[in-house]
Amino acid sequence: MADFLPKDVIAMRVAKELENGQVVNLGIGIPSLCSQYIPRDKDVIFHSENGVLNFGPLADASEINPDFINAAGYSLLPYPGMYFMGSDIAFSMIRGSHVDIAVLGALQVSQSGDLANWKIPERGIGNVGGAMDLAAGARKVIVAMQHLDPFGNPKIVSTCSYPLTGQRCVSLVVTDVSVIEISLKGMILKELAPGWSVQDVQEITGPRLIIADDLSEIEL
């Protein structure tokens, strides 16, 4: 098998999915890297559920300001057109389908698009935060994650064994070896990382993949 792509490349590939004018919420982890890779000719309006809309690059550690943060706890910089709101309005935006895309991390994604990303059963306790609101409310959910968990188990599974965040909510999965679309027919393998074959990806994926007619190498 060839190398797994770095996390930043997963983020770059997701960034290609984001369109001019879209309202986008980025989850913690790999999804949060996407904002760095938006082409200059695109205006993506980032939403963060703690109460900010339309923020730009994040401050570095020397400019910490606890009154200007995103949901991951990173400090924001002033940005033209920025808007602040309370938690009730921030979530009305999500619940009311005003957020076009949520990019979320995952512990598991099932072939029908079920998402599990808030609780590891072994810990016995979980932080749900805004994950269930985003899974149910965003118009489209993209999962950005590594293909395998830290123990080498597939994270793309026939049925999630971890507690669900939402049912049938994920429509695209971008991993470090593939891009997979979730359709009513099943999981469609659309793109492969360089050096990876269909068989290589299938071997580390739970459900049987449908091969797209236009299967290609991942392009950034």
Contact 6, 193 (CB under 8 A): no
Binding another protein (rule: CB under 8 A), the pick from 41, 127, 214, 220 is 127
Phi and psi at residue 66, to the nearest 5°: -65, -15
Question: Whose CA is closest to 177, among 158, 190, 186?
Answer: 190
Binding mask 29-58 for another protein (x = CB under 8 A): -------------------xxxxx------
Q: Hey, what are 115's tokens?
A: 């998402």
Question: Whose CA is closest to 117, among 66, 62, 173, 68?
Answer: 173
Binding another protein (rule: CB under 8 A), the pick from 5, 23, 33, 76 is 76
Q: Among residue numbers 186 through 215, which ones bind another protein (CB under 8 A)? A: none
Q: Is 219 a catalytic residue?
A: no
| Cα 34 → chain centroid | 9
Stretch that binds another protein, among 8-16, 18-26, 164-172, 177-185 (CB under 8 A): 164-172
Stretch that binds another protein, among 8-16, 127-135, 150-158, 202-210 (CB under 8 A): 127-135
Q: How many CB atoms lie within 10 A of CB 32?
A: 20
120-135 residues labelled b (16+ CB within 10 A) or e (exposed)? eeeeeeeeeebbbbbb
Set 17, 49, 122, 181: catalytic member: 49
Binding another protein (rule: CB under 8 A), the pick from 1, 2, 64, 198 is 64
The distance of closest approach from Cβ of residue 53 to another protein in the complex, given in angstroms and rounded to an integer, is 11
- Determine the Cα–Cα distance for residues 179 and 191; give it in Å rounded to an integer: 5
Enumerate the H helices of the chain as residue ranges.
7-15, 87-95, 131-137, 198-203
Nearer of residues 2 and 89 to another protein, judged by Cβ: 89
The distance of closest approach from Cβ of residue 200 to another protein in the complex, given in angstroms and rounded to an integer, is 32
Question: Whose CA is closest to 110, among 152, 173, 153, 204?
Answer: 173
Binding another protein (rule: CB under 8 A), the pick from 57, 81, 86, 195 is 86
Binding mask 93-112 for another protein (x = CB under 8 A): -xx-----------------
Instruction: Catalog residues that contact another protein under the rule CB under 8 A.
Output: 48-52, 61, 64-76, 84-88, 90-92, 94-95, 114, 120, 123-133, 135-137, 163-167
Catalytic site residues?
A: 49
